[in-house]
Structure 1
């Protein structure tokens, strides 16, 4: 997969959807439109969604730990 920063084609941006899934990111028309169509602050690498709210195929990588969070699941 070609993603942002690695080519002139950004598949992540093309895949990004509104959280309701009906429309592309930043073209949301559901009840979340007021919040999701306006970006302020950090974003996913594609620039279409807020940081940690990625909806493209990179969601697993992009939605990892937030700044200051600690993953205690594997600590002994």
Structure 2
């Protein structure tokens, strides 16, 4: 979402932790600099919009519902 940072803060304030796994697109990282990739517009857009939600095989259905309802309340 274009409101990722606001959503992340909203969720954190409600007790739902999230992560931003790729704040810099892989093609823009030092390890790939030698490949000389100029731009990947969609990847660059997504680096500012993607938010990783809690996911685990041990999440109870009730916890999943809390996460979904909290997001829906945004």
Same fold (TM over 0.5): no
- Please say which structure displays the higher CA radius of gyration: 2
Determine which structure has the larger helix proportion and give its number.
Answer: 2
Higher relative contact order (CA 8 A, sep 6+): 2
